[in-house]
Amino acid sequence: MEKSNKYEAGAQFAKAQRAHDAKKATSEYETAAKALRAKTDRLKALRLARDAAAPPQQPAPAKRRGKNKGKSGSLSDWLDGQAKDGRGG
């Protein structure tokens, strides 16, 4: 019977230890999450203040693509030109 009582006492202690560790881990997790939210809120406030103080930037004008210089040919024309120049095989 003594082994049984010792086993039960050890099991109860282990269970209590796991419960304590779980509460501690949960507390640490919640503390870290709270700190992260506070940091995010602080950075958001700084960003909004910076954006409000700076004048709005005009978007860069869209680049205009010019027309292709020279004639636009087909692939076969290009390959023929390469063969005449001694390229390709």
Report whether 64 contacts 58 (CB < 8 A): no
Task: Determine the average pLDDT of the residues in 46-72.
Answer: 80
SS3 sequence of the chain? CHHHHHHHHHHHHHHHHHHHHHHHHHHHHHHHHHHHHHHHHHHHHHHHHHHHHCCCCCCCCCCCCCCCCCCCCCHHHHHHHHHHCCCCC
Higher-confidence residue: 66 or 84? Answer: 84
Indicate whether this model's pTM tops 0.75: no
Note the pLDDT of residue 28: 96
Q: Average of pLDDT values for 33-44?
A: 98
Whether pLDDT at 39 is above 70: yes
